[in-house]
Amino acid sequence: MPYSAVFLGIAGLIPFVAMPLAYQLNLFSITQSAVYFVQYSAVLLSFFGGIHWWDAISNQRYDKQMLIAMLPTIIGWLCLVFSHDVKVFGVLSLSYVAVLIYDKFTLSLPKEQVVSYISLRMALTSVVVICHAWMIYLLV
């Protein structure tokens, strides 16, 4: 995996860690932290749908993969609409796990790239899920 991908992946975790921490350090209210967290999470989830859109077009697989590529964006948007509900954090968290599993079995990458990509995604997704749980803990 290229260093830049690892670096950017880790950098992408900063808002997930920063928002609950900002609340605990009295920098933001719980409402601000929760709204900013959901906004970032929804946008990032949408990005993963784009990976499948590109994969479907690149490999001329216009079947269900292209339709499924839209799900992260739709789920993210719905989570923004219903961002006042704590269940949104669970939906987003489960969506990250579901996309990771779908990536593992669907993406058309050479085997060595799939292994390194999925390994990186598993590590990053684990932190993302923990941060969603952290926000749920702070909200209830």
pLDDT at 110 over 90: no
100 contacts 50 by C-beta, under 8 angstroms: no
Element (H, E) at 114: helix 111-139
Asked if residue 30 has pLDDT above 90, the reply is yes
- Average pLDDT, integer, range 104-109: 82
* pLDDT given for residue 100 in this prediction: 95
> Does residue 114 carry a pLDDT above 90?
no
Mean pLDDT of 55-82: 88
Q: What is the residue-wise DSSP string for 49-82? A: HHHHHHHHHHTT--SHHHHHTTHHHHHHHHHHHT
The position carrying tokens 């993969």 is 65
Is the confidence at residue 83, as pLDDT, over 80? yes
* Averaged pLDDT, 51-75: 85
Residue spans per domain, the chain: 3-139
Tell me phi and psi for residue 26, to 5 degrees: 60, 30
> What pLDDT is attached to residue 55?
83
